[in-house]
Protein backbone atom coordinates (compact mmCIF):
# COMPACT_ATOMS: atom_id res chain seq x y z
CA UNK A 1 0.00 0.00 0.00
CA UNK A 2 1.38 3.35 -1.03
CA UNK A 3 1.17 6.18 1.48
CA UNK A 4 1.85 9.85 0.98
CA UNK A 5 1.86 12.62 3.54
CA UNK A 6 1.38 16.20 2.45
CA UNK A 7 1.41 19.42 4.42
CA UNK A 8 1.09 23.05 3.57
CA UNK A 9 4.80 23.51 3.02
CA UNK A 10 4.94 24.34 -0.65
CA UNK A 11 8.61 23.71 -1.00
CA UNK A 12 8.34 20.36 0.62
CA UNK A 13 5.29 19.53 -1.42
CA UNK A 14 7.25 20.09 -4.58
CA UNK A 15 9.35 17.17 -3.45
CA UNK A 16 6.32 14.88 -3.26
CA UNK A 17 4.66 16.10 -6.43
CA UNK A 18 2.27 13.63 -8.00
CA UNK A 19 3.14 11.74 -11.11
CA UNK A 20 1.67 8.93 -13.13
CA UNK A 21 4.47 6.48 -12.62
CA UNK A 22 3.20 5.08 -9.33
CA UNK A 23 6.60 5.62 -7.76
CA UNK A 24 5.88 8.15 -5.05
CA UNK A 25 7.70 7.60 -1.84
CA UNK A 26 6.66 8.37 1.69
CA UNK A 27 7.15 12.05 2.41
CA UNK A 28 6.68 13.72 5.76
CA UNK A 29 7.42 17.39 6.24
CA UNK A 30 7.10 19.96 8.98
CA UNK A 31 5.63 23.38 8.38
CA UNK A 32 7.31 25.50 11.03
CA UNK A 33 9.86 26.96 8.62
CA UNK A 34 7.70 27.81 5.63
CA UNK A 35 4.01 27.80 6.56
CA UNK A 36 2.06 31.03 6.33
CA UNK A 37 -0.02 30.12 9.39
CA UNK A 38 0.05 32.82 12.09
CA UNK A 39 0.98 30.40 14.85
CA UNK A 40 4.22 31.09 16.68
CA UNK A 41 4.28 27.48 17.80
CA UNK A 42 7.37 25.51 16.93
CA UNK A 43 5.70 22.16 17.43
CA UNK A 44 2.12 22.53 16.19
CA UNK A 45 -0.61 19.98 16.63
CA UNK A 46 -1.00 17.85 13.52
CA UNK A 47 -4.47 16.97 12.26
CA UNK A 48 -4.90 14.84 9.15
CA UNK A 49 -7.31 14.19 6.32
CA UNK A 50 -7.08 10.66 4.91
CA UNK A 51 -7.35 10.20 1.15
CA UNK A 52 -8.28 6.79 -0.27
CA UNK A 53 -8.18 6.32 -4.05
CA UNK A 54 -6.94 3.86 -6.68
CA UNK A 55 -3.42 5.11 -7.32
CA UNK A 56 -1.86 2.26 -9.28
CA UNK A 57 -2.71 0.01 -12.20
CA UNK A 58 -5.55 0.62 -14.61
CA UNK A 59 -7.38 3.11 -12.37
CA UNK A 60 -4.33 5.30 -11.71
CA UNK A 61 -4.94 7.59 -14.68
CA UNK A 62 -8.01 8.99 -12.94
CA UNK A 63 -7.04 8.20 -9.35
CA UNK A 64 -3.83 10.24 -9.30
CA UNK A 65 -5.39 13.38 -10.77
CA UNK A 66 -8.17 13.04 -8.20
CA UNK A 67 -5.62 12.65 -5.40
CA UNK A 68 -3.77 15.73 -6.60
CA UNK A 69 -6.92 17.83 -6.44
CA UNK A 70 -7.45 16.82 -2.81
CA UNK A 71 -3.82 17.45 -1.86
CA UNK A 72 -3.91 20.90 -3.46
CA UNK A 73 -6.91 21.85 -1.34
CA UNK A 74 -5.16 20.65 1.81
CA UNK A 75 -2.08 22.69 0.93
CA UNK A 76 -4.12 25.83 0.36
CA UNK A 77 -6.39 25.35 3.39
CA UNK A 78 -3.38 25.37 5.72
CA UNK A 79 -3.42 29.17 5.70
CA UNK A 80 -6.88 29.07 7.30
CA UNK A 81 -5.92 26.66 10.08
CA UNK A 82 -6.16 27.95 13.66
CA UNK A 83 -2.97 28.94 15.43
CA UNK A 84 -0.77 26.00 16.35
CA UNK A 85 -2.40 23.46 14.01
CA UNK A 86 -0.84 21.82 10.96
CA UNK A 87 -3.07 20.16 8.36
CA UNK A 88 -1.76 17.09 6.56
CA UNK A 89 -3.13 14.91 3.81
CA UNK A 90 -2.42 11.17 3.99
CA UNK A 91 -3.04 9.37 0.71
CA UNK A 92 -3.25 5.60 0.29
CA UNK A 93 -3.88 3.29 -2.65
CA UNK A 94 -6.90 0.96 -2.68
CA UNK A 95 -5.89 -0.86 -5.88
CA UNK A 96 -4.68 -4.45 -5.73
CA UNK A 97 -3.05 -5.94 -8.79
CA UNK A 98 -4.00 -2.85 -10.72
CA UNK A 99 -7.72 -2.73 -9.90
CA UNK A 100 -9.66 -0.95 -7.12
CA UNK A 101 -10.33 -3.40 -4.32
CA UNK A 102 -13.09 -3.13 -1.66
CA UNK A 103 -11.20 -5.18 0.92
CA UNK A 104 -8.13 -2.99 0.54
CA UNK A 105 -10.31 0.08 0.79
CA UNK A 106 -11.81 -1.14 4.07
CA UNK A 107 -8.32 -1.91 5.41
CA UNK A 108 -7.19 1.59 4.43
CA UNK A 109 -9.93 3.36 6.38
CA UNK A 110 -9.22 1.11 9.37
CA UNK A 111 -5.65 2.37 9.23
CA UNK A 112 -6.95 5.94 9.22
CA UNK A 113 -9.16 5.20 12.21
CA UNK A 114 -6.21 3.77 14.15
CA UNK A 115 -4.46 7.14 13.76
CA UNK A 116 -6.08 9.57 16.20
CA UNK A 117 -4.88 12.54 14.15
CA UNK A 118 -7.05 11.57 11.15
CA UNK A 119 -10.34 13.46 11.52
CA UNK A 120 -11.98 12.91 8.12
CA UNK A 121 -11.55 10.94 4.90
CA UNK A 122 -11.78 11.98 1.23
CA UNK A 123 -12.62 9.10 -1.12
CA UNK A 124 -12.94 6.55 -2.47
CA UNK A 125 -13.25 6.73 -6.28
CA UNK A 126 -15.33 3.58 -6.78
CA UNK A 127 -18.75 2.74 -5.40
CA UNK A 128 -18.02 -0.87 -4.48
CA UNK A 129 -15.07 0.35 -2.40
CA UNK A 130 -17.35 2.89 -0.71
CA UNK A 131 -19.80 0.10 0.07
CA UNK A 132 -17.05 -1.73 1.98
CA UNK A 133 -15.84 1.41 3.75
CA UNK A 134 -19.03 3.13 4.88
CA UNK A 135 -19.87 0.61 7.66
CA UNK A 136 -16.33 1.09 9.01
CA UNK A 137 -16.32 4.90 8.97
CA UNK A 138 -19.88 5.02 10.27
CA UNK A 139 -18.94 2.84 13.27
CA UNK A 140 -16.06 5.22 14.01
CA UNK A 141 -18.20 8.38 13.52
CA UNK A 142 -15.66 9.42 10.89
CA UNK A 143 -16.74 11.87 8.19
CA UNK A 144 -16.13 10.55 4.67
CA UNK A 145 -16.61 12.75 1.60
CA UNK A 146 -16.72 11.05 -1.80
CA UNK A 147 -15.61 13.02 -4.85
CA UNK A 148 -16.87 10.56 -7.46
CA UNK A 149 -18.83 7.63 -5.99
CA UNK A 150 -22.24 7.68 -7.61
CA UNK A 151 -24.19 4.48 -6.75
CA UNK A 152 -27.59 5.61 -5.47
CA UNK A 153 -27.81 3.04 -2.72
CA UNK A 154 -24.80 4.41 -0.86
CA UNK A 155 -26.97 7.24 0.46
CA UNK A 156 -30.54 6.36 -0.52
CA UNK A 157 -32.99 3.66 0.52
CA UNK A 158 -32.83 0.66 2.85
CA UNK A 159 -29.47 -0.53 1.49
CA UNK A 160 -27.87 2.76 2.53
CA UNK A 161 -29.33 2.42 6.01
CA UNK A 162 -27.94 -1.10 6.24
CA UNK A 163 -24.48 0.33 5.59
CA UNK A 164 -24.98 2.51 8.69
CA UNK A 165 -25.77 -0.48 10.87
CA UNK A 166 -23.70 0.71 13.87
CA UNK A 167 -25.05 4.28 13.91
CA UNK A 168 -28.13 4.10 11.66
CA UNK A 169 -29.23 7.66 12.36
CA UNK A 170 -25.80 9.19 11.91
CA UNK A 171 -24.91 10.25 8.35
CA UNK A 172 -21.13 10.02 8.04
CA UNK A 173 -20.87 9.51 4.26
CA UNK A 174 -21.31 12.57 2.03
CA UNK A 175 -20.56 13.16 -1.65
CA UNK A 176 -19.99 16.20 -3.82
CA UNK A 177 -21.04 14.40 -7.04
CA UNK A 178 -24.47 13.34 -8.20
CA UNK A 179 -25.84 9.79 -8.53
CA UNK A 180 -25.95 6.88 -10.98
CA UNK A 181 -29.66 7.33 -11.54
CA UNK A 182 -29.12 10.83 -12.85
CA UNK A 183 -26.24 9.71 -15.09
CA UNK A 184 -28.30 6.82 -16.44
CA UNK A 185 -31.27 9.06 -17.15
CA UNK A 186 -29.15 11.66 -18.91
CA UNK A 187 -27.47 9.01 -21.08
CA UNK A 188 -30.81 7.42 -22.01
CA UNK A 189 -32.15 10.81 -23.08
CA UNK A 190 -28.99 11.58 -25.05
CA UNK A 191 -29.14 8.23 -26.86
CA UNK A 192 -32.73 8.93 -27.83
CA UNK A 193 -31.78 12.42 -29.06
CA UNK A 194 -29.27 10.80 -31.45
CA UNK A 195 -32.00 8.54 -32.82
CA UNK A 196 -30.83 5.32 -31.18
CA UNK A 197 -33.72 2.94 -30.52
CA UNK A 198 -32.05 -0.47 -30.03
CA UNK A 199 -29.65 -0.92 -27.13
CA UNK A 200 -27.59 -3.87 -25.94
CA UNK A 201 -26.60 -3.51 -22.28
CA UNK A 202 -23.52 -5.03 -20.65
CA UNK A 203 -22.36 -4.41 -17.09
CA UNK A 204 -19.44 -5.46 -14.92
CA UNK A 205 -21.65 -6.87 -12.16
CA UNK A 206 -20.26 -4.42 -9.60
CA UNK A 207 -22.18 -1.94 -7.43
CA UNK A 208 -21.62 1.04 -9.71
CA UNK A 209 -22.06 -0.78 -13.01
CA UNK A 210 -25.26 -2.57 -12.03
CA UNK A 211 -26.80 0.61 -10.65
CA UNK A 212 -25.94 2.64 -13.74
CA UNK A 213 -27.11 -0.02 -16.20
CA UNK A 214 -30.39 -0.50 -14.28
CA UNK A 215 -31.23 3.17 -14.60
CA UNK A 216 -30.26 3.41 -18.26
CA UNK A 217 -32.39 0.36 -19.05
CA UNK A 218 -35.39 1.76 -17.18
CA UNK A 219 -35.28 5.19 -18.78
CA UNK A 220 -34.31 4.04 -22.28
CA UNK A 221 -37.32 1.72 -22.44
CA UNK A 222 -39.61 4.29 -20.82
CA UNK A 223 -38.67 6.70 -23.60
CA UNK A 224 -39.67 4.18 -26.28
CA UNK A 225 -36.36 2.40 -26.86
CA UNK A 226 -35.83 -1.36 -26.94
CA UNK A 227 -33.27 -3.21 -24.84
CA UNK A 228 -32.29 -6.20 -26.98
CA UNK A 229 -30.51 -8.10 -24.20
CA UNK A 230 -28.33 -7.60 -21.15
CA UNK A 231 -25.23 -9.48 -20.03
CA UNK A 232 -22.85 -9.31 -17.06
CA UNK A 233 -19.09 -9.58 -17.45
CA UNK A 234 -17.22 -12.19 -15.46
CA UNK A 235 -14.42 -10.71 -13.35
CA UNK A 236 -10.94 -10.64 -14.95
CA UNK A 237 -12.21 -11.63 -18.40
CA UNK A 238 -9.88 -10.42 -21.15
CA UNK A 239 -11.43 -11.92 -24.30
CA UNK A 240 -14.97 -10.77 -25.13
CA UNK A 241 -15.21 -12.10 -28.68
CA UNK A 242 -17.95 -14.66 -27.96
CA UNK A 243 -20.08 -12.07 -26.18
CA UNK A 244 -19.50 -9.47 -28.88
CA UNK A 245 -20.50 -11.89 -31.67
CA UNK A 246 -23.77 -12.33 -29.78
CA UNK A 247 -24.12 -8.54 -29.57
CA UNK A 248 -23.41 -8.16 -33.29
CA UNK A 249 -26.12 -10.68 -34.15
CA UNK A 250 -28.66 -8.53 -32.26
CA UNK A 251 -27.82 -5.50 -34.48
CA UNK A 252 -27.97 -2.74 -31.83
CA UNK A 253 -27.77 1.01 -32.48
CA UNK A 254 -25.85 1.45 -29.26
CA UNK A 255 -23.95 -0.71 -26.76
CA UNK A 256 -24.31 0.56 -23.20
CA UNK A 257 -21.67 -0.44 -20.66
CA UNK A 258 -22.26 -0.15 -16.92
CA UNK A 259 -18.86 -0.30 -15.30
CA UNK A 260 -15.38 1.16 -15.51
CA UNK A 261 -12.57 0.93 -18.00
CA UNK A 262 -10.48 -1.34 -15.78
CA UNK A 263 -13.26 -3.90 -15.23
CA UNK A 264 -13.68 -4.56 -18.94
CA UNK A 265 -15.05 -1.34 -20.40
CA UNK A 266 -11.84 -0.53 -22.26
CA UNK A 267 -11.19 -3.95 -23.76
CA UNK A 268 -14.84 -4.37 -24.65
CA UNK A 269 -14.82 -1.22 -26.76
CA UNK A 270 -11.49 -2.11 -28.36
CA UNK A 271 -12.64 -5.60 -29.28
CA UNK A 272 -15.91 -4.33 -30.79
CA UNK A 273 -13.85 -3.44 -33.88
CA UNK A 274 -12.85 -7.06 -34.35
CA UNK A 275 -16.44 -8.25 -34.83
CA UNK A 276 -17.76 -5.46 -37.04
CA UNK A 277 -19.14 -3.29 -34.24
CA UNK A 278 -16.60 -0.49 -34.55
CA UNK A 279 -19.13 2.00 -35.89
CA UNK A 280 -21.78 1.20 -33.30
CA UNK A 281 -22.07 3.88 -30.60
CA UNK A 282 -20.73 2.97 -27.16
CA UNK A 283 -22.21 4.63 -24.07
CA UNK A 284 -21.23 4.60 -20.41
CA UNK A 285 -20.97 6.71 -17.29
CA UNK A 286 -17.99 8.37 -15.67
CA UNK A 287 -16.34 4.96 -15.28
CA UNK A 288 -15.20 5.12 -18.92
CA UNK A 289 -13.85 8.67 -18.81
CA UNK A 290 -10.38 7.14 -19.25
CA UNK A 291 -11.52 4.80 -22.06
CA UNK A 292 -8.84 6.03 -24.50
CA UNK A 293 -6.07 4.81 -22.18
CA UNK A 294 -7.04 1.28 -23.27
CA UNK A 295 -8.95 1.72 -26.53
CA UNK A 296 -6.94 4.62 -27.99
CA UNK A 297 -8.48 5.91 -31.23
CA UNK A 298 -10.94 3.01 -31.09
CA UNK A 299 -12.69 4.95 -28.33
CA UNK A 300 -14.07 7.23 -31.07
CA UNK A 301 -17.85 7.10 -31.25
CA UNK A 302 -18.15 6.60 -27.49
CA UNK A 303 -20.00 8.90 -25.09
CA UNK A 304 -19.99 9.26 -21.33
CA UNK A 305 -21.14 11.47 -18.51
CA UNK A 306 -19.23 12.83 -15.56
CA UNK A 307 -21.03 13.38 -12.27
CA UNK A 308 -19.29 16.72 -12.07
CA UNK A 309 -19.14 20.01 -13.93
CA UNK A 310 -16.41 20.72 -16.45
CA UNK A 311 -14.23 22.88 -14.21
CA UNK A 312 -12.36 24.21 -17.24
CA UNK A 313 -15.60 25.98 -18.26
CA UNK A 314 -16.52 27.40 -14.85
CA UNK A 315 -15.47 30.98 -14.08
CA UNK A 316 -15.41 30.12 -10.37
CA UNK A 317 -12.90 27.32 -11.02
CA UNK A 318 -10.31 29.26 -13.00
CA UNK A 319 -8.11 30.00 -9.98
CA UNK A 320 -8.14 26.31 -9.08
CA UNK A 321 -7.34 25.25 -12.67
CA UNK A 322 -4.42 27.68 -12.81
CA UNK A 323 -3.08 26.57 -9.41
CA UNK A 324 -3.38 22.90 -10.38
CA UNK A 325 -1.42 23.39 -13.61
CA UNK A 326 1.25 25.36 -11.79
CA UNK A 327 1.49 22.74 -9.06
CA UNK A 328 1.47 19.56 -11.16
CA UNK A 329 2.45 20.75 -14.66
CA UNK A 330 -0.57 18.99 -16.15
CA UNK A 331 -4.22 19.58 -16.91
CA UNK A 332 -6.85 18.68 -14.35
CA UNK A 333 -8.40 15.20 -14.41
CA UNK A 334 -12.12 14.42 -14.57
CA UNK A 335 -12.56 14.54 -10.79
CA UNK A 336 -9.68 16.81 -9.70
CA UNK A 337 -12.02 19.72 -8.96
CA UNK A 338 -14.47 17.46 -7.13
CA UNK A 339 -11.65 16.09 -4.99
CA UNK A 340 -10.50 19.64 -4.26
CA UNK A 341 -14.05 20.49 -3.16
CA UNK A 342 -14.31 17.34 -1.03
CA UNK A 343 -11.04 18.09 0.76
CA UNK A 344 -12.12 21.71 1.14
CA UNK A 345 -15.32 20.51 2.84
CA UNK A 346 -13.33 18.26 5.19
CA UNK A 347 -10.78 20.95 6.08
CA UNK A 348 -13.48 23.57 6.58
CA UNK A 349 -15.30 21.23 8.97
CA UNK A 350 -12.11 20.57 10.93
CA UNK A 351 -11.42 24.31 11.23
CA UNK A 352 -14.94 25.06 12.42
CA UNK A 353 -14.82 22.15 14.87
CA UNK A 354 -11.60 23.46 16.38
CA UNK A 355 -13.33 26.82 16.76
CA UNK A 356 -12.43 29.29 19.44
CA UNK A 357 -11.67 26.59 21.97
CA UNK A 358 -8.50 25.65 20.20
CA UNK A 359 -8.55 22.00 21.17
CA UNK A 360 -8.43 18.98 18.91
CA UNK A 361 -12.04 18.18 17.98
CA UNK A 362 -13.56 14.73 18.06
CA UNK A 363 -14.46 12.95 14.83
CA UNK A 364 -18.13 13.32 15.77
CA UNK A 365 -17.61 17.08 16.01
CA UNK A 366 -16.21 17.09 12.49
CA UNK A 367 -19.13 14.99 11.15
CA UNK A 368 -21.58 17.51 12.60
CA UNK A 369 -19.78 20.36 10.84
CA UNK A 370 -19.65 18.54 7.50
CA UNK A 371 -23.42 17.99 7.67
CA UNK A 372 -23.98 21.75 8.02
CA UNK A 373 -21.49 22.74 5.32
CA UNK A 374 -22.25 25.83 3.24
CA UNK A 375 -19.17 26.87 1.31
CA UNK A 376 -18.10 28.05 -2.12
CA UNK A 377 -15.82 25.69 -4.04
CA UNK A 378 -14.43 25.52 -7.58
CA UNK A 379 -17.45 23.41 -8.59
CA UNK A 380 -19.96 25.78 -7.00
CA UNK A 381 -21.79 26.07 -3.71
CA UNK A 382 -21.64 22.93 -1.60
CA UNK A 383 -24.19 21.86 1.01
CA UNK A 384 -25.73 18.48 1.74
CA UNK A 385 -29.25 17.16 2.12
CA UNK A 386 -30.42 14.85 4.92
CA UNK A 387 -28.96 11.81 3.13
CA UNK A 388 -25.51 13.28 2.58
CA UNK A 389 -26.04 14.09 -1.11
CA UNK A 390 -24.98 17.40 -2.58
CA UNK A 391 -27.87 19.83 -3.06
CA UNK A 392 -26.51 21.37 -6.28
CA UNK A 393 -25.73 18.42 -8.59
CA UNK A 394 -24.27 18.92 -12.06
CA UNK A 395 -23.54 16.47 -14.90
CA UNK A 396 -21.27 16.91 -17.90
CA UNK A 397 -21.56 15.09 -21.21
CA UNK A 398 -18.49 14.07 -23.25
CA UNK A 399 -17.58 12.14 -26.39
CA UNK A 400 -14.40 10.76 -27.98
CA UNK A 401 -12.88 11.87 -31.29
CA UNK A 402 -9.40 11.09 -32.64
CA UNK A 403 -8.71 9.19 -29.43
CA UNK A 404 -9.34 12.29 -27.32
CA UNK A 405 -12.17 13.20 -25.03
CA UNK A 406 -14.17 16.31 -25.93
CA UNK A 407 -16.77 18.23 -23.97
CA UNK A 408 -20.32 18.35 -25.35
CA UNK A 409 -22.36 20.18 -22.75
CA UNK A 410 -23.12 20.63 -19.09
CA UNK A 411 -26.41 19.60 -17.49
CA UNK A 412 -27.64 21.41 -14.38
CA UNK A 413 -29.90 18.98 -12.56
CA UNK A 414 -33.11 19.92 -10.78
CA UNK A 415 -33.91 18.16 -7.49
- The proportion of the chain whose per-residue pLDDT surpasses 70, expressed as a percent, equals 89
* pLDDT level of residue 41 (50, 70, 90 thresholds): very low
Q: How far is CA 134 from CA 75, 286, 289, in A?
A: 26, 21, 25
* Res 413: pLDDT: 65
Lowest mean pLDDT among 7-21, 133-147, 375-389: 7-21
Condensed to tens digits (0 to 9), the pLDDT of residues 79-107 reads 999 999 999 999 999 999 988 999 999 99
Relative to beta strand 394-401, strand 302-306 is antiparallel
Question: CA–CA separation, 91 vs 353, rounded Å?
Answer: 22
Question: CA–CA separation, 284 vs 114, rounded Å?
Answer: 38
Question: CA–CA separation, 199 vs 70, rounded Å?
Answer: 37
* Res 412: pLDDT: 67
Burial 131-167 (b: 16+ CB within 10 A, else e): bbbbbbbbebbbbbbbbbbbbbbbbeeeebeebbeee
Instruction: Decide: helix, strand or coil at residue 290.
Output: coil
* Res 414: pLDDT: 59
* 290 vs 39, residue with greater confidence: 290
> Which class for 311: exposed (0-12), middle (13-18), buried (19 or more C-beta within 10 A)?
buried
pTM over 0.95: no
Average pLDDT over residues 173-185: 92
Tally of CA atoms within 13 A in the half-sphere of 233 that contains its CB: 30
Q: Is the pLDDT of residue 269 over 50?
A: yes
* pLDDT level of residue 180 (50, 70, 90 thresholds): confident
Average pLDDT over residues 199-213: 94
Residue 389 main-chain phi, psi, to 5 deg: -90, 150
What are the residues whose beta carbons fall under 8 Å from the beta carbon of 212, sequence distance 6 or more?
150, 180, 183, 184, 203, 258, 259, 284, 285, 287
* Res 3: pLDDT: 46
Q: Is the pLDDT of residue 176 over 70?
A: yes
* Res 113: pLDDT: 98
Condensed to tens digits (0 to 9), the pLDDT of residues 138-147 reads 999 999 999 9
- The proportion of the chain whose per-residue pLDDT surpasses 90, expressed as a percent, equals 78
Average pLDDT over residues 201-211: 93
Please report, in angstroms and rounded to a whole number, the separation of the first and last CA atoms in the chain.
39
* 157 vs 3, residue with greater confidence: 157
Q: Is the pLDDT of residue 34 over 70?
A: no
Q: Is the pLDDT of residue 382 over 90?
A: yes
Average pLDDT over residues 208-226: 94
- Mean pLDDT, the chain, rounded, equals 88
Alpha-carbon torsion (31, 87, 124, 68), positive or negative: negative
Q: Is the pLDDT of residue 12 over 90?
A: no
Condensed to tens digits (0 to 9), the pLDDT of residues 291-302 reads 999 999 999 999
Amino acid sequence: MRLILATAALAALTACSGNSSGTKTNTTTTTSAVTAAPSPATAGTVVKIGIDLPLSGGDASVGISTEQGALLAIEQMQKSMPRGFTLQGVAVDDAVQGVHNPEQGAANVRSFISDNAVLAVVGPYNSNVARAQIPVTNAASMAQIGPSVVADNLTLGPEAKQLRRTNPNLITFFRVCTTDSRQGSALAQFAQSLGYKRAYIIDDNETYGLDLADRFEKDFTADGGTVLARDHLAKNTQDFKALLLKVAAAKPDVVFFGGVTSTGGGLLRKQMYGVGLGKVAYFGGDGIADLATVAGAQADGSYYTLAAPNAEKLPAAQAFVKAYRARYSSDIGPYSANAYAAAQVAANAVIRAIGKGGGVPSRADVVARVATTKIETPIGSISFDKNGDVTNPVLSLYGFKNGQSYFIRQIQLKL
